[in-house]
């Protein structure tokens, strides 16, 4: 590798020390570190370049922080075909599965071709009246706002009526995001290799409303039928737009995917047991 992109959570007090270690390890490999954001504040020796140039030139994008830092990396890449290596600067994450003590080991594994790639579904979201598209690795969420009053959201899949939900909002999740907001809304855990979306209503006003798993080949439309407040449309918590009555949000599977680097000993089920504190028989 000749060039490695980096984005880091500079609010972590030990981020500068970890970045220094990364710079030393990259130097031994003959690779240059570059960034396009405020990561340069924690490592003055790193070269800051434009986002477009960085995305076009790097062979690996490293996200140092937590899962939120990986989501920021996804937003920066915006669908570009660059593998992401997440290094957690705290506890083990769902996406940042490399702990900081294994930083150098992870880089060597990448250099020696010993790592695997987990391809993750990306959702693409657009708002009626706008040509701009937004990428999400985890989920697209509609709801909340400055009032506790309920809203009515009408959902269609490939033009077919699904339901009208009287609720606080709705989460449209990818398999990767099924362990996030969707899970806290009562949605199922979906293995990352399953091709599906999960529709999880938030606090629906009827007990018959349950999360729904549908094929990710469907184009989902969520129309705001009734709302006495301005709602928030968020993509992975990175982008945020205001929506109101009459707006239609369209969500579909992106033709691009996120490529998350995995070490040789990575095990998805072990990660679930650890993060969700599953307990059971040891027999």
Q: What is the pLDDT of residue 283?
A: 46
Tokens of 127: 């708002």
Angle made by CA atoms 32, 35, 41, in degrees to the nearest 5: 110
Look at residue 283 and tell me if it is in a domain.
no
Which of the following is catalytic: 67, 139, 236, 247?
Answer: 67
**Would you call 67 a catalytic residue per the annotation?**
yes
Task: Please tell me what DSSP assigns to residue 137.
Answer: S
Encode burial over 124-163: b for 16+ CB neighbours within 10 A, e otherwise. bbebeeeeeebbbbbbbbbbbbeeeebbebbbbbeeeebe
Neighbours of 257 (CB within 10 A): 16
The pLDDT of residue 147 is 63
List the pLDDT tens digit at each of the 283 positions of the chain: 899 999 999 999 999 999 999 999 999 999 999 999 999 999 988 999 999 999 999 999 999 999 999 999 999 999 999 999 999 998 778 999 899 999 999 999 999 999 999 999 999 999 998 889 999 999 999 987 666 788 999 999 999 999 999 999 999 999 999 999 999 989 999 999 999 999 999 989 888 889 999 999 999 999 999 988 889 999 998 888 999 899 999 999 999 999 999 999 999 999 999 888 887 655 4
Distances (CA, A) of 256 to 156, 237, 251: 23, 20, 14
- In this structure, the answer to whether residues 33 and 101 fall within a common structural domain is yes
Residues 162 and 57 placed together within one structural domain of the fold: no
Same domain, 128 and 154: yes
Residue 86 lies in a domain: yes
Sheet holding 169-173, edge to edge: 212-215, 196-202, 169-173, 139-143, 231-235, 239-243
Q: The domain spanning residue 249 has which CATH number?
A: 2.60.200.30
Same domain, 219 and 186: yes
pLDDT number for residue 93:
83
Does residue 135 sit in the same domain as residue 248? yes
Helix (H) or strand (E) holding 233: strand 231-235
Among residues 229, 226, 233, the alpha carbon closest in space to that of 249 is found at 233
On whether both 139 and 231 belong to a single domain, the answer is yes
Question: Looking at the domain assignment, is residue 55 inside a domain?
Answer: yes
Predicted confidence at residue 200, as pLDDT, reads: 96
Q: Which of the 8 DSSP states describes residue 206?
A: S
- Helix (H, G, I), strand (E, B), or coil: what is residue 59? coil
The range of the structural domain enclosing residue 107 comes to 3-115+263-276
Residue 282 domain flag: no
* 243 close to 231: Cβ distance less than 8 angstroms: yes
Query: How many structural domains does the chain have?
Result: 2
pLDDT of 282 reads 54
Whether residue 271 lies inside any domain: the answer is yes
Position 228 scores a pLDDT of: 81
Give this prediction's pTM: 0.91
């Amino acid at each position: 590798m000749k060039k490695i992109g980096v984005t880091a959570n500079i609010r972590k007090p030990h981020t500068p020390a970890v970045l220094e270690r990364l710079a030393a390890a990259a130097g031994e490999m003959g690779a240059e570190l570059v960034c396009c954001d405020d990561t340069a504040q924690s490592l003055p020796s790193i070269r800051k370049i434009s986002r477009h140039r960085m995305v076009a030139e790097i062979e690996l994008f490293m996200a140092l922080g937590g899962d939120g830092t990986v989501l920021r990396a996804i937003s920066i890449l915006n669908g570009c075909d660059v593998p992401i290596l997440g290094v957690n600067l705290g506890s083990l994450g769902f996406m940042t599965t490399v702990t900081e003590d294994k930083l150098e080991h992870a880089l060597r594994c990448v250099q020696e071709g010993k790592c695997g790639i987990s391809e993750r579904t990306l959702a693409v979201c657009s708002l009626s009246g706008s040509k701009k598209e937004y990428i999400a690795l985890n989920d697209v969420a509609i709801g909340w706002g400055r009032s506790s009053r309920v809203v009515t959201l009408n959902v269609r899949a490939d033009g077919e009526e699904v339901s009208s939900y009287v609720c606080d909002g709705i989460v449209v999740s990818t398999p990767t995001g099924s362990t996030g907001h969707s899970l806290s809304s009562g949605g199922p855990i979906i293995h990352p290799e399953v091709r599906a979306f999960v529709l999880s209503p938030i606090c629906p006003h009827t007990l018959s409303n349950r999360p729904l798993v549908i094929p990710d080949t469907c184009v989902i439309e969520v129309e705001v039928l009734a709302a006495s407040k301005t709602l928030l449309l968020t993509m992975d918590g990175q982008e945020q737009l205001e929506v109101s009555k009459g707006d239609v949000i369209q969500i579909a599977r992106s033709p691009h995917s996120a490529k998350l680097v995995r070490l040789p000993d990575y095990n998805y089920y072990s990660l679930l047991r650890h993060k969700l504190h599953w307990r059971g028989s040891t027999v």
